[in-house]
């Protein structure tokens, strides 16, 4: 819904509330919540009016398998503070760790609260198979049974925390209790607010949006509110300039760490995490993990305990808990086409990705792709060093990899060379990582295949659509290889990330031509499962 529609919606909901008993609402808290939700200041008086007059939203908070960290996060809220939250904004009518009632009395409270329309917030994972792993209350009902019966009557359901969203720590390998996120067992839609724990702001503002508009804020494909989980945390981090400069803390207590160096080498998973922690912070906006000196452990991402390896090391194979297998058969149709006759070979219903000595994309007999980059490594590095961050990055690379740099100095001249061969771009990364030429392109694919992790490191491939063509710009992407090398990622991770970035870009182009048959023209040895992503 756009702002105009939201405004009309709120005005409509205010009609009929005239004359209702007014309660005090702290305008600063309302303004704070709306600001985070991305709503303009003109909404504040309307929202205050609504909260002052409308009946408070009846909230039931259920605890399943978890550590109560989500509730702890909520307790430390400042705007609104907990007292405002429960007395002015919402009616928190059932919350096992906050309510004074217990035993049968608590169960009566739950039944009472369920007599009226209510919003359900669930903290914790559910054990739907061996349901005895979690028994709650005077009658010893299973968490699964409770969840089903309460969810059936709820007007809206929120999963607060990574446990209720995805299973969390209980569901980590080997998951002895066979727990999972609640959306896996409920047929109703669940608005997910992950994080272990999520910030108080993400919980309260999402709930406030629902109270005001009777619907959830815009959600992404994992049903997370876009306002809070729409951006990569790393892009908002106060240490990002250090990341770009290749300045990494080597130990938690070294001088660099104290001076704000990036924590990537100490395991920060910020580049793989979508959450707004640097903005909303925790404990009444006091701090957030990276500001406190520990890298982000991707606590709001699915399977974060298993998928991101050791939390104090980057995702290099030595620190993986499990190895991803990439052995499935390749399904893309591969035609061994010739560059000279390429255009004539394209049929009307085909989209051809030609990935050999030149990267081309053909639809009908039209060339779709505009792609070229500086392929003389010495010139590419000189271009990079033109800005301050790039200059620092190159200096740090020279310091950390002197032999590799000497190899580049000795083997490249000063003459710019523009290329549109994607494999040549990958080879440049190999040279940077290994200080030698890549003898066989298949080796790079093999390395990517052997990477133990599922998550690619971002590479900044810039895809932009022009009238009848698309432009793929990788000129700024080579810096990522230098950053990751200085940050402790190995060639396997770099190779996998490069190929994934290519697959992602091709996949985006593919989106516009879904009705066409996809043909790939690539050497057989390079025809590997990583390109499966193109089809997804």
Of 80, 128, 143, 161, the residue at the interface with ligand FSX (CB under 6 A) is 161
Question: Is residue 10 close enough to count as binding ligand F3S by CB under 6 A?
Answer: no
Please report which residue ranges of 141-280 form alpha helices under DSSP H. Answer: 143-153, 162-166, 200-213, 226-229, 240-244, 255-258, 277-280
Length reported for the chain: 536
Question: Is residue 450 close enough to count as binding ligand FSX by CB under 6 A?
Answer: no
Given ligand F3S, ligand FSX, ligand SF4, none, residue 162, with its beta carbon under 5 to 8 Å by kind, binds ligand FSX
Task: Convert residues 321-350 into a mask of x (bound to ligand FSX by CB under 6 A) and - (unbound).
Answer: ------------------------------
Q: Which residue has the tokens 């993400």?
A: 202
Question: Is residue 314 close enough to count as binding ligand FSX by CB under 6 A?
Answer: no
Of 297, 408, 431, 509, the residue at the interface with ligand F3S (CB under 6 A) is 297
Maximum Cα–Cα distance across the chain:
83
Question: Is residue 162 close enough to count as binding ligand F3S by CB under 6 A?
Answer: no
Question: Is residue 288 close enough to count as binding ligand F3S by CB under 6 A?
Answer: yes
Count of beta carbons in the 10 Å neighbourhood of residue 110: 19
Of 143, 181, 197, 295, the residue at the interface with ligand FSX (CB under 6 A) is 197
DSSP β-ladder status, 350-355 and 359-363: antiparallel
DSSP β-ladder status, 135-136 and 141-142: antiparallel
Q: Residue 433 or residue 489: which is nearer to ligand SF4 going by CB?
A: 489
Taking CB under 6 A as the binding criterion, the range among 19-27, 118-126, 291-299, 448-456 that sits at the site for ligand F3S is 291-299
Least distance CB 156 / ligand FSX (angstroms): 19
Structure tokens at 406: 């000497």
Least distance CB 121 / ligand FSX (angstroms): 11
DSSP β-ladder status, 469-473 and 462-466: antiparallel
Taking CB under 6 A as the binding criterion, the range among 128-136, 158-166, 247-255, 521-529 that sits at the site for ligand FSX is 158-166
Least distance CB 241 / ligand SF4 (angstroms): 8
Of 57, 70, 247, 352, the residue at the interface with ligand FSX (CB under 6 A) is 70
Region 397-456 residues binding ligand F3S, contact defined as CB under 6 A: none
Q: How far is CA 318 from CA 11, 296, 452, 492, in A?
A: 58, 20, 9, 11
User: At residue 24, what are phi and psi to the nearest 5 degrees?
Assistant: -75, 135
List the Cα angle 143/147/148 in 5-degree steps: 120
* 3 state SS of 32: helix
Of 170, 273, 457, 528, the residue at the interface with ligand F3S (CB under 6 A) is 273
Region 165-204 residues binding ligand F3S, contact defined as CB under 6 A: 195
The residue with its CB nearest to ligand F3S is 296
Given ligand F3S, ligand SF4, ligand FSX, none, residue 277, with its beta carbon under 5 to 8 Å by kind, binds ligand F3S
Of 164, 192, 245, 275, the residue at the interface with ligand F3S (CB under 6 A) is 275
Q: How far is CA 53 from CA 18, 23, 32, 117, 244, in A?
A: 8, 7, 19, 17, 50
Region 218-237 residues binding ligand F3S, contact defined as CB under 6 A: 233
Question: Is residue 217 close enough to count as binding ligand F3S by CB under 6 A?
Answer: no
Read off the DSSP letter of residue 436.
Answer: S
Structure tokens at 260: 């704000």
Q: Residue 124 or residue 271: which is nearer to ligand FSX going by CB?
A: 124
Read off the DSSP letter of residue 216.
Answer: P
HEC string of 82-147 equals HHHHHHHHEEEEEECCCCCCCHHHHHHHHHHHCCCCCEEEEECEECCCCHHHCEECCCCEEHHHHH
Least distance CB 205 / ligand F3S (angstroms): 16
Question: Is residue 196 close enough to count as binding ligand FSX by CB under 6 A?
Answer: yes
Which residues make Cβ contacts (< 8 Å) with residue 386, sequence separation at least 6? none
Question: Is residue 299 close enough to count as binding ligand F3S by CB under 6 A?
Answer: yes
Taking CB under 6 A as the binding criterion, the range among 132-140, 157-165, 329-337, 497-505 that sits at the site for ligand FSX is 157-165
Read off the DSSP letter of residue 348.
Answer: T
- Residues facing 490 on adjacent strands: none
Taking CB under 6 A as the binding criterion, the range among 144-152, 159-167, 335-343, 384-392 that sits at the site for ligand FSX is 159-167
Taking CB under 6 A as the binding criterion, the range among 55-63, 246-254, 287-295, 388-396 that sits at the site for ligand F3S is 287-295
Q: Residue 27 or residue 312: which is nearer to ligand F3S going by CB?
A: 312
Which of 331, 268, 321 lies closest to 294 in space, CA to CA?
268
Which residues make Cβ contacts (< 8 Å) with residue 4, sequence separation at least 6? none
State the DSSP string of 242-268. Answer: HHHTT-B-SSTTSHHHHTT-B-GGGT-
* 3 state SS of 197: coil
Of 69, 181, 225, 289, the residue at the interface with ligand F3S (CB under 6 A) is 289
Q: Residue 107 or residue 302: which is nearer to ligand F3S going by CB?
A: 302
Q: Residue 280 or residue 442: which is nearer to ligand F3S going by CB?
A: 280
N-term to C-term CA, the chain = 28
Q: Residue 193 or residue 394: which is nearer to ligand FSX going by CB?
A: 193
Question: Is residue 66 close enough to count as binding ligand FSX by CB under 6 A?
Answer: yes
Binding positions for ligand F3S, rule: CB under 6 A:
195, 233, 273, 275, 277, 288-290, 296-300
Q: Applying CB under 6 A, which residues contact ligand FSX?
A: 66-70, 123-124, 161-163, 168-169, 196-197
């Amino acid at each position: 819904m756009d702002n105009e529609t939201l405004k009309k919606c709120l005005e409509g909901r205010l009609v009929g509330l005239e004359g209702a008993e007014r309660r005090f609402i702290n305008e600063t808290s309302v303004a704070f919540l709306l600001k985070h939700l991305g709503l303009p200041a003109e909404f504040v008086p309307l929202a205050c009016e609504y909260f002052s007059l409308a009946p408070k939203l009846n909230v039931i908070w259920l605890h399943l398998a978890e550590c109560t960290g989500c509730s702890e996060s909520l307790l430390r809220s400042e705007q609104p503070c907990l007292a405002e939250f429960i007395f002015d904004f919402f009616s928190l009518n059932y919350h096992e760790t906050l309510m004074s009632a217990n035993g049968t009395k608590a169960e009566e409270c739950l039944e009472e609260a369920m007599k009226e329309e209510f919003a359900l917030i669930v903290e914790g994972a559910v054990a739907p198979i061996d349901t005895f792993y979690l028994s709650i209350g005077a009658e010893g009902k299973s968490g699964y049974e409770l969840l089903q019966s309460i969810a059936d009557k709820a007007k809206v359901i929120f999963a607060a925390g990574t446990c209720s969203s995805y299973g969390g720590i209980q569901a980590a390998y080997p998951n002895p209790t066979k727990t999972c996120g609640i959306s896996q067992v409920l047929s109703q839609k669940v608005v997910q607010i992950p994080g272990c724990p999520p910030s108080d702001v993400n919980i309260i503002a999402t709930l406030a949006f629902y109270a005001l508009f009777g619907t959830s804020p815009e959600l992404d494909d994992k049903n997370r509110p876009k306002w809070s989980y729409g951006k990569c945390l790393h892009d908002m981090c106060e240490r990002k300039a250090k990341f770009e400069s290749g300045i990494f803390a080597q130990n938690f207590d070294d001088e660099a760490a104290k001076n704000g160096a990036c924590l990537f080498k100490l395991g920060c998973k910020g580049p793989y995490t979508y959450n707004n922690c640097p903005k909303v912070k925790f404990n009444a906006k006091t701090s957030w993990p990276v500001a406190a000196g520990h890298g982000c452990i991707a606590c709001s991402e699915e399977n974060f305990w298993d998928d991101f390896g050791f939390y104090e090391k980057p995702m290099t194979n030595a620190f993986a808990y499990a190895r991803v297998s990439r052995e499935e058969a390749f399904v893309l149709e591969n035609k061994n086409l010739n560059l000279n006759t390429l255009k004539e070979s394209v049929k009307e219903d085909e989209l051809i990705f030609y990935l050999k000595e030149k990267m081309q994309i053909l639809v009908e007999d039209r060339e779709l792709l505009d792609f070229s980059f500086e392929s003389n490594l010495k010139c590419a590095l000189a271009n990079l060093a033109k800005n301050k961050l790039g200059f620092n990055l190159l200096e740090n690379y020279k310091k950390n990899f002197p032999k590799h740099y000497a190899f580049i100095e000795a083997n490249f001249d000063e003459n710019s060379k523009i290329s549109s061969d994607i494999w040549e771009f990958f080879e440049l990364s190999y040279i940077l990582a290994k200080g030698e030429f890549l003898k066989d392109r298949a080796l790079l694919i093999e390395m990517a295949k052997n990477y133990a992790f599922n998550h690619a490191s971002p590479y900044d491939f810039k895809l932009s659509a022009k009238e009848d063509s698309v432009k793929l710009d990788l000129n700024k992407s080579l810096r990522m290889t230098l950053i990751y090398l200085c940050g402790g990622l190995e060639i396997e991770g770099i190779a996998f990330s490069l190929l994934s970035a290519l697959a992602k870009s091709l996949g985006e182009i593919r989106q516009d031509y879904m009705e066409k048959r996809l043909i790939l023209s690539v050497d057989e040895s390079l025809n590997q499962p990583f390109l499966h992503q193109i089809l997804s």
